[in-house]
Chains A and B, each alone.
Chain A
């Protein structure tokens, strides 16, 4: 489980996430993609989530810049409406907005979007950091260095 926790370390850039999202409102969203706003500076993935009472609500999940993904051949068609995803993050400080940061956006089996499906995460020989006593990487992305 330590592996899961370490691997889930998210990356931040561009703007003050702490200003936008509320640390006291953690969310776990499971649902189907309805559409993707493929715009800069941040892409927004819309996902329809079923509530316990059976009604549905649409959340918007903040991702990074689309430019990088476009260069890897990933387009808005790569995340088609109806695709089931799981998102963990924090809700916007404005609780009337169903918006959250996409700390981790994965398929239901835990594979990360895009990296899991596009083959860009090429395997590295003997590089499993969970084996052989290697210390799990702790690097955390930071913008504006």
Chain B
């Protein structure tokens, strides 16, 4: 019965389960003086549910399936936290083989990490993906135009949801990637958190710092993202800014549809490029209180220049009593200087070798 509910057509989604469950909790959810649901609070977005459904997974896990997967993650965390040899040697010369941004040197160990520990539950269902439309739980195909754009963007900075290019082991692959601070990922530059944590759409980064704080007034709703400290201010019942005004997180305007806050965002720049999107990206987010301690977050992404069709995702934001601390990203950002300085030294070294 619950499973069937998952497969309602996309068009009907907005009127479906979330709103129905919101109605049933109508009397129990907190409200502001003007009668709207009060979304104020701190929410922990960390979850094990990935954006896209893993191959072969069903849309919804049974409780037993989810518990088993959650236990595996708990075991891995426990394992990573164990003591190692206090008399260990230095790591191997030539690198430790770590892939991706770890660039053959690794990062830092697991005590710094605070990723999710459970699958998101929506309508009592333990979801295997955030994407719910298309029904296969996968982001639709890129258009030919978007593929061309992505190829041309090889020599631009990575998109807002990347830490670095997935195939970039350090300096070696992407030409010029270390030539200019503006070629570095936005997270590395302390401009926007990686993994689209700032959004829109606001997504978990499966790593750390996934807290979001909502502050609500009658005129505006502010969504503060812990990582890199981005505050998005949603102007209520206002028209969008003129198309000439472009913003890192777009221009967000909001309205109430019944008990759901609908946030409409346009006017993106060409610098964030969520999953390769164009500046014409249009994001509609729906925030619905589903209980005193839960909020359902649903988003629809539309950008005909990028995807062959619009797509929708949703997951629950559980409220938390944890505190959200200031991030102040650039106060200690020695890393960016070290990275650029390292690149210059390597260039000089390579030039010396060449001239010999």
Contacts and interface: CB of A to CB of B under 8 A. Distances in A.
A105 B108 contact: yes
A54 interface: no
A69 B112 contact: yes
A28 B339 contact: no
B34 interface: no
28 contacts: A4-B88, A7-B84, A10-B107, A12-B102, A14-B335, A16-B101, A16-B185, A18-B105, A20-B338, A39-B328, A40-B327, A41-B329, A62-B108, A63-B108, A67-B226, A68-B208, A69-B111, A70-B325, A89-B106, A90-B105, A99-B334, A103-B105, A110-B87, A112-B110, A140-B102, A141-B115, A143-B101, A144-B164
Which of A16, A109, A116, A139 lies at the interface centre, i.e. has the most chain B CB atoms within 10 A of its CB?
Answer: A16
Contacts of B184: 15-16
B209 A68 contact: yes
Most B CB within 10 A of own CB, among A70, A92, A120: A92
B102 A102 contact: no
Given A10-B106, A27-B90, A4 B325 contact: no
A98 to B, nearest CB: 12
B328 A40 contact: yes
B3 to A, nearest CB: 27
A4 B91 CA distance: 12
Interface of A: 4, 7-24, 26-28, 37, 39-44, 60, 62-71, 86, 88-90, 92-94, 97, 99, 101-116, 120-124, 127, 129, 136-137, 139-145
Contacts of B333: 41-42
B122 interface: no
A26 B108 contact: no
B163 interface: yes
Contacts, number: 314
B114 interface: yes
Interface stretch (B20-28, B167-175, B263-271): B167-175
B187 interface: yes
B86 A109 contact: yes
Contact of B107 (A27, A60, A101): A101
B205 interface: yes
Interface of B: 50-51, 71-72, 74-96, 98-115, 158, 161-164, 168-171, 178, 184-185, 187-188, 190, 194-195, 205-209, 226-228, 322-323, 325, 327-329, 331-336, 338-339, 341-343, 345-346
A16 B76 contact: no
Given A16-B101, A113-B111, A143-B205, 14 more contacts: A11-B106, A23-B95, A24-B93, A65-B208, A86-B88, A103-B96, A103-B109, A104-B109, A121-B78, A124-B71, A137-B72, A139-B76, A142-B163, A144-B101
A30 to B, nearest CB: 9
A111 B85 CA distance: 8
A7 B309 CA distance: 43
Given A88-B88, A112-B84, A21 B103 contact: yes
Given A67-B325, A89-B91, A103-B91, A145 B51 contact: yes
A22 B80 CA distance: 24
Contacts of B101: 12-13, 15-18, 142-144
Nearest to A8: B84
Contacts of A66: 325
A93 B226 contact: no
B188 A14 contact: yes
B77 A121 contact: yes
A129 B79 contact: yes
A27 B96 CA distance: 12
Instruction: List 9 tightest A-B contacts by C-beta distance, closest first.
Output: A18-B103, A64-B112, A18-B170, A39-B332, A93-B342, A12-B107, A23-B95, A144-B163, A10-B106
